[in-house]
Structure 1
Amino acid sequence: MFVLHRLHVAAAAALLALTSLSAGAAETPRPAHWEYRGARGVAHWAQLDHGFETCGIGHRQSPIDIQHATPAPLPALEFGYTAVSPSIVNNGHTVQVNVPAGQFLTVAGKRLELLQFHFHTPSEERMKGKESAMVAHFVHRDEKGHLGVVAVLLEPGSKGSAFDTVLDHLPRLAGETLTVADLKLDLQALLPKDHGYYDFEGSLTTPPCSEGVHWMVMRQPVKVTAKHIQAFRAVYAHNARPVQPLNGREVKVSQ
């Protein structure tokens, strides 16, 4: 059972700002509308809005194609995830799952609060040129406002995973949110069993493409059923930014 709420356009715009994590003060002009294709697509992001210039001139942009990685003694990812009652939002660019406060990730003694996770298809990240069917981005923020994103690659499988529970409740129209009254989503169950990961510095993958984002891409993918992949693609057939130049950045992989 779930309850469907139709959001006002202004509320949808606010949710869109949360996805890009670029919302400013209330008096700040609304950023330009952007898309993945066409006249407002990826190739034109930098020209759509002065605040989007980094999309075109940045040197540490995401996503990337991970061709090589240097083994390193990276700190363990300690997930303080529990079961929550989320709200599921269609913000006009993706389906985003907002979680209540109290979910967190600790890396090298630093605590980052989980804000939300959302989906892209195909995966934005590539492994030696290969894309996955989807990816889930878990967006965290520390007390100083620094962002850390954990990427979980999603591949088709017969048994699926806890992600299928989310993908069973997709708001189909932009500006809608689903509150699932009797759903308890175990966030820990969304993660792969192996917490090994790739580590690099990058950016947001949507405008304003702000840099200084700490990326942690999980090495082990998680399975979702083909039915649920198609269900997401029925809402968003393609919402992935192409891979960006590495520009000399080092990618590390946990030993």
Structure 2
Amino acid sequence: MSASSSRVAAEMVCNGDAQSVSTGVNYPEIMVIRHGETDWNVDGRFQGTLDVELNETGRQQATAVGERLSKEGKISAIYSSDLKRAFETANLIATACGGLEVIKDPGLRERNLGDLQGLQPHAAASVCPEAYKALLSQKTDQELPGGGESIAQVYQRCITCLRNISVKHKGQRVVAVTHGGVLQTLHAQACPNNQPVKFLNTSVNIFHLSDGDNWVFKSGVDISHLNQIDYLRTGYGGDRSSC
């Protein structure tokens, strides 16, 4: 699969409200980017809130997406999860875009997966069967053994975070570097009737937010900047092994 073939249509609107935010400058354009590759991504391990660093491929990916964004218009602010893999990605983007200071926001953190963190899915099913069963549960209030978050808790945290960013940056282009689980939640908010999307490392995903509750997923899963760089074909949300 080539990078260009992984792109979603440039004007993908999911909630039917695109006209209300398609003109004017009263809404922000928020480019939500998944962090670069880590060795645990390669191994298929559940990372959650464990502080895993980028590998060398991940750093190359982050540099490439930063160079791309630097050519696409002024960026007013860069926000990031405070976990290393996201924060390092954000700082490499910031360097390419003129040295903006990265603003850490814990609201962009990955879901805490409790006892499952550090395990591969096949091992998790046998080592922590109750936690793995809870992960697969469709109950939104199901917390994960070992201090893990429920789907509802993640939803409240990251939706509130993006709403707060949108209020501060109306009419501006903003970058938010985060994780696959958070991107799945934001996509579900904008596209409640759509199937989950496979979010690849350093993919660019553009959201328009109007009045806090009018969400449009304008485009996504764009990794055209990785044409000359290796990347994992598996991605969070689209594969059983994604972590």
Shorter-chain TM-score bucket reads: under 0.3
Q: Which has the higher contact order (CA 8 A, sep 6+)?
A: 2
TM-score using structure 1 length: 0.24
Q: Quick check: which one's strand share is greater?
A: 1
